[in-house]
Structure 1
Amino acid sequence: MKRRTLISGAAAVTAAGAMIIAATTVAQAEETGNEALAAAIDAILQDPKVTDSQASIIVKDAATGEVVYDHHGNQRAIPASNNKLSTVAGALEVLGEDFTFTTDVVADAPVDGTVSGDLYLRGSGDPSMLAADYRSLADQLVEAGVTTVDGDLVADDTAFDAARHGDVWSWSDVMSSAGAEISALTIGSGSDHLAGTVRVYVRPGATAGSPAVIETVPETDYVTVESTATTGTSTNVQFSRDEHANTIRVSGTVAAGSSGTYGTRAVIDPTGLAADVFADALDAAGIDLLGDVRLHEETPQGGESLASHSSATLADLTDDLMKPSNNLYAEAFFKAAGLAQTGLGTFASGKAAIYSGIEEYGVNTGPIRQVDGSGMSRWDELTPDMLTDLLIGAQDAPWFDTYHDSLPVACVDGTLLSRMCGTEAAGNVRAKTGSLTSVSALSGFVTDADGRELVFSVMFNDFLTSNIKGLEDQIAVVLASYSADTTESEFATFAAEAEEIAEPAEELPADWECSWYEPSIC
């Protein structure tokens, strides 16, 4: 509120002096501190993009928990990938940073190089398995003296239940790499560990007009690729997967002389893909599999572990989950936590385990609903108040450094690589992004200009515009620029500067995390 200064008649001043005093008074009358900060954020929320949408925002002092700003902070909203904040915190608490997933090969001990009976490939949910890991298991069998399996290869994915997707996942997502099927025995298609997927590389042929060269990773017959793509003057390739079969169709052109392009698609039943890749690895290692491949059967008691692979620790996997917002990693963490607590790797047990983990740090789970690990479900509902309580409470956890350091950093890495560059937030804001159609969120940590650490959560739901992330960035920049003596007009300048930052050259839809599109800017 602006204060009015009264000057008595005895204090005669010149007209020029009066103007100076008036100007000084106006400058002094501007709000500063939390009041100015609140006014600046309120002004950002007047943007037409927010009209008729739901905005839920809260900012707290990370050290004291004091509420610095609150705009419907207790209102439940769909969090999208902000769900991963609770999933990872709960999993780290329940499983521990040193936890590893194990994939092993079990059978009766070989006699004269022959395994009598079936060979069991048993998974525990490792979302980071690649073809090279399955080849390593086959090599271990060779070292154990195995030359022949006179039974079947049995793929055991029973550590998790048969629910391949969460409740209310979008049908358009489940054929993409972002919504791949969940399995306790799976395989990824590249160094980014997109579990349950196949990557199709399309490279130019020898001459213009010739068929494009097609390659899949992992190499497999489990997926059929039907290609009409040809070599042309430019690259414009489309990928689609059949709704009910592992058939990927490729069309368009790939530029002659170029390195080509690729697309990644989810497969139906990734357990079968993992088993197929392992069967090929056995063959390449010189091991004769005399039987067939069977899926979804439990390994019987009494067998011997002939080969084993352990994942990286949960601490290391956390970084791979949070930076690019890896959905299948999140679902593996979710069900693995449930498995550890109850012996059942289900969505229900995962929810109970995650809740118990975060409740250890003062989080009230009563007002929220979390039905999956990734946030792909529109039945997930969290509040900014709950998320900031989690971020504050997690500071007391033994795993906090792992958790904190896994968050994307503005203009540095992960899903924030191209955001807030050239502002006070760059290299400062550490936050988890969230994106679904008409859903956007940003929650994390920021250090203000006075050196005070803040936690914040910004959640937008039900907006009609294509992209609202610029408003999240403006709010984050205002927080990074905060000082106790900063005025409302100065805050407005910071927000305006953030708004003027050039958009990335590569335009992306806003209903997915940018990393899910695998563009160069992410």
Structure 2
Amino acid sequence: MRQSLRLLAGMLVAVTALTGVAGAPVAAQDRGSLAGDLDAILANPGLAGADVALVVRTVDGQELYRRGSDRRQQPASNAKLVTSAAALEVLGPDYRFGTTVGATGRLAARVLHGDLYLRGTGDPTMLAADYDSLAAQVAAAGVRLVTGNLVADDSWFDGVRLGTGWAWDDEPFYYDAQVSALTAAPDTDFDAGSVIVRVSPTTAGAPARVETVPPTDHVRIVSSAVTGAAGTGSTVSVDREHGTNTITVSGSVPAGASPVQEWMAVWDPTGYAASLLRAALGAHGVRVLGRTTRGVTPPAARTLAERRSMPLSELLVPFMKLSNNLHAEILMKAMGRARSNEGSWNAGIAAVRGVLPGFGIDPARLSLLDGSGLSRMDQISPDQLVALLIAARSRPWYPVWYAALPVAGEPDRMVGGTLRSRMRNTPAAGNVHAKTGSLTGVSSLSGYVTAADGQALVFSMVTNNSVGISLKPIEDAVAVRLASPGSAAAAVRADTGPEPDGECSWRKAC
């Protein structure tokens, strides 16, 4: 992560290309040639019956092309442009999440005569190692025995775990994980509220080995998976029973093959976080006699251990590059807490709507039900997204926001993000900084591009109601044309394939 952040620091120099040419004349990009080429790209037969909207403007707002761009549509993960910009406005780039372990009662002879309180504020970057560090701090404070309970305090947010309009059948998977003020991630992508289920081969014909990362007793594994013959294909399937933490594993993994890994959302991330701390306390010689319960930390509790997250300016990188849904929803509730002392979606959405006029967006003319774009009830127009992109350039936080956007054709995951495999070896590679978005039947791409003559442009393409095809090649063709000199229609080819299942990063391997 830190190496990737250093790479990003160099990329900030590129921001000057988008801040010094606001007055470039419209003539720098020939309207007729551009319109003809974009019309030709959007005439792709794969778009028949789809609702396609595209707008292209200069960074000072001059319109170069538009097609249906005032119509509201489902934005998919382009909603994260709104959420991230609003979070920088409301919380600030230096905002950090805090997690503490507090105590009540008297500490004497290494015995705490009271309860321990684990209190969270939504930190999505908490790893098992961080709970281990909290436990080590408790032990260093002289505690060896706790006569009371371990109390999990997730009251910073409300108890609503899943967003309005989210698909029920996505609920077991990590990109649709539950939102809680206490949570944990299994990796440095910070996929909060999930575990990695690792299925490894043993010997042919024997049961496969199944384990979780991190190890936790919060989930129960029920496996019928076996080790297949060497050279056969993997048929491993991993699922979680709705409303439970029973994870089922079936199929076969070939002998000698690499382990199969699946990221799965846990049911009740609060309990998951508490289980990691309890296990870590035991590993550091701290025994808790009582149960793990839920409650609110008393104001008089003294802090024994604490951790602060990286600042929001750094969290933006995995959030936006990898299109992390849980980061968006946690930030939404954190904004609600900051503005109205209520960590809920409703309060967060109100906070977002409060800053939209500053971006030139009328909040009465859009609908946002969550922060990630998972909700099928979200509605926003490409014109509104472009207004946001233009207005963001005047903000002091713009350089870190711009650098956090995926960059076309850059193979490093923490640079290219969801665009790392797209537009390689084209004028758009290393040039287009844009946010992707995908749901079944929905695809979006909105961001910045510098034309061949140095003119800085903003664009937004959102397509709804497509059937059975990937719209990514068409979006790429549009972005490549914007980055290309002169008429490039003949050189831009959009071969559509099967429709992908969600964002690239959600599939991990792409």
> Per-residue CA shift, 1:303-346, capped at 9, x if unaligned?
11110011100000011100000000111111111111111011
Within the candidate set 403, 408, 411, 1:410 is matched to: 408
Q: Is the 8 A contact 1:222 1:276 kept in 2?
A: yes
Partner of 2:346: 348
Within the candidate set 84, 89, 96, 2:92 is matched to: 96
In 2: Cα distance, 1:112 partner to 1:403 partner: 51
In 2: Cα distance, 1:360 partner to 1:403 partner: 17
In 1: Cα distance, 2:498 partner to 2:399 partner: 32
Partner of 1:248: 247
Q: Structure 1 pair 176/333, CA: closer, same or farther in 2 (3 Å)?
A: same
Q: TM-score, length-normalised on structure 1?
A: 0.88
State which drifts further: 135-144 or 419-428: 419-428
Q: Does 1:227 align with 2:223?
A: yes
Q: Is the 8 A contact 2:121 2:181 kept in 1?
A: yes
Q: CA deviation at 1:71?
A: 0.7
Q: CA deviation at 1:356?
A: 2.4
Within the candidate set 80, 83, 89, 1:87 is matched to: 83
Q: CA deviation at 1:460?
A: 0.2
Quick one: which amino acid aligns to residue 442 of structure 1? L
Quick one: which amino acid aligns to residue 375 of structure 1? G
> Per-residue CA shift, 1:102-157, capped at 9, x if unaligned?
00011126233222221110000101111000000000001111111111111111
In 1: Cα distance, 2:201 partner to 2:440 partner: 35
Q: TM-score, length-normalised on structure 2?
A: 0.90
The within-5 A match list for 1:183-332 is: 183-205=180-202, 207-232=203-228, 233=230, 234=232, 235-295=234-294, 297-332=295-330
Q: Is the 8 A contact 1:106 1:119 kept in 2?
A: yes
Within the candidate set 167, 170, 174, 2:164 is matched to: 167
Partner of 1:176: 173
Q: Secondary structure at the match of 2:359?
A: coil
In 1: Cα distance, 2:214 partner to 2:183 partner: 12
| Equivalenced residues, count | 473
Q: Secondary structure at the match of 2:490?
A: helix
Q: CA deviation at 1:431?
A: 0.5
Percent identity of equivalent pairs: 45
In 1: Cα distance, 2:215 partner to 2:291 partner: 19
Q: Is the 8 A contact 2:46 2:469 kept in 1?
A: no
Q: CA deviation at 1:508?
A: 7.9
Runs (5+) with no aligned partner, structure 1: 1-31
Q: Is the 8 A contact 1:447 1:454 kept in 2?
A: yes
The within-5 A match list for 1:27-176 is: 33-62=30-59, 64-108=60-104, 110-176=107-173
In 2: Cα distance, 1:238 partner to 1:336 partner: 35
In 1: Cα distance, 2:108 partner to 2:185 partner: 34
Partner of 1:494: 491
> Per-residue CA shift, 1:365-386, capped at 9, x if unaligned?
2211111111100111111111
Q: CA deviation at 1:211?
A: 1.2
State which drifts further: 213-222 or 121-130: 213-222
Q: Does 1:513 align with 2:503?
A: yes
Q: Is the 8 A contact 2:470 2:498 kept in 1?
A: no
Partner of 1:9: none
Partner of 1:18: none
Q: Does 1:431 align with 2:428?
A: no
In 2: Cα distance, 1:357 partner to 1:305 partner: 35
In 2: Cα distance, 1:404 partner to 1:212 partner: 45
Quick one: which amino acid aligns to residue 154 of structure 1? V
Partner of 1:467: 470
Q: Structure 1 pair 164/508, CA: closer, same or farther in 2 (3 Å)?
A: farther
Runs (5+) with no aligned partner, structure 2: 1-28, 411-415
Q: CA deviation at 1:358?
A: 3.7
Quick one: which amino acid aligns to residue 310 of structure 2? A
In 2: Cα distance, 1:143 partner to 1:354 partner: 42
- Following TM superposition, where does structure 1 have runs of at least 4 consecutive aligned residues deviating by more than 3 angstroms? none
Q: Secondary structure at the match of 1:73?
A: coil
Q: CA deviation at 1:175?
A: 1.1
Q: CA deviation at 1:509?
A: 5.1
- State which structure, 1 or 2, has the greater radius of gyration over its C-alpha atoms: 1
In 2: Cα distance, 1:39 partner to 1:374 partner: 34
In 1: Cα distance, 2:315 partner to 2:102 partner: 25
Partner of 2:20: none
Partner of 1:12: none
Q: CA deviation at 1:87?
A: 0.2
In 1: Cα distance, 2:433 partner to 2:362 partner: 23
Q: Secondary structure at the match of 2:73?
A: coil
